[in-house]
Amino acid sequence: MSLSRLCTAIATSSAILAVAACSTSAPPPPPPLVRPASFTPLGLGADYLSQGLIGGARARAAKMKAAKIRPLTSVAGPSYLARAERELRVQTAGIGVDVIRLPDGLLIRIPAALTFNSNSAELRPEFSATLKELSRTLKVYNQTYVDVFAHTDTQGSAEYNLSLSQKRANAVAAFLGSHGVVKGRTAAKGLGETAPLYPNDAGEEQRAANRRVELRIQAYHG
């Protein structure tokens, strides 16, 4: 082989090796999200998801400013939420927690099996472990608001369910605050049985899907 051909072959081999090295060093794509059959991303058109921040945008922005959290620009917001979404999907893959893209944010939907025992506002150990993991990512992406919604099924009176759901939402917000999520970022609202995924929860599968906790993540723009 001539010297020129040898040099060409070496250069080609080096290029192939360089490409292979780059491809192997790239992070793998996140695993597919596994959802239980009874837990599906329904109800995204519900009124409460399109309403403004709990407590009002002006009051919430004042709390963020007092916490010395810098607002995002309108240009930076979408990519910031996209990065948060990717990390949350990887973090929650396979445990039954659903991460859903909203028009102006993200929704983390956590099913009854991981949240509270019946008639209780005390976090189950499984739920505490899940929230602790979520807190780690929420701390990193601190230029966001976190709205906590809690829901019940239709068992019991509407008044009791509304009160119970508010206690549950407060418990989740308090837990996040105790694990590094700045309290000024969070607000809690119990919706009782008013926002079901399944309008008719006659069966246990539907009731279980309706009993849930949701974290709505929205960009802080000041």
pLDDT bracket for residue 142 (50, 70, 90): very high
pLDDT of 71: 96
Q: In this predicted model, what pLDDT tens digit does every residue of 173-214 receive, in sequence order?
A: 999 999 999 999 999 999 999 998 887 666 887 788 888 999
Q: Which fold has domain 35-219?
A: 60s Ribosomal Protein L30; Chain: A; (3.30.1330)
Taking the domains of the chain in order of start, what are their residue ranges? 35-219
Task: Give yes or no for residue 18 having a pLDDT over 70.
Answer: no
pLDDT bracket for residue 10 (50, 70, 90): very low
Is 0.85 topped by the overall pTM? Answer: no
The secondary structure of the chain, three-state, reads CCHHHHHHHHHHHHHHHHHHHHHHHCCCCCCCCCCCCCCCCCCCCCHHHHCCCCCCHHHHHHHHHHCCCCCCCCCHHHHHHHHHHHHHHHHHCCCCCEEEEECCEEEEEEEHHHCECCCCCCECHHHHHHHHHHHHHHHHCCCEEEEEEEECCCCCCHHHHHHHHHHHHHHHHHHHHHCCCCHHHEEEEEEECCCCCCCCCCCHHHHHHHCEEEEEEEECCC
pLDDT of 113: 76
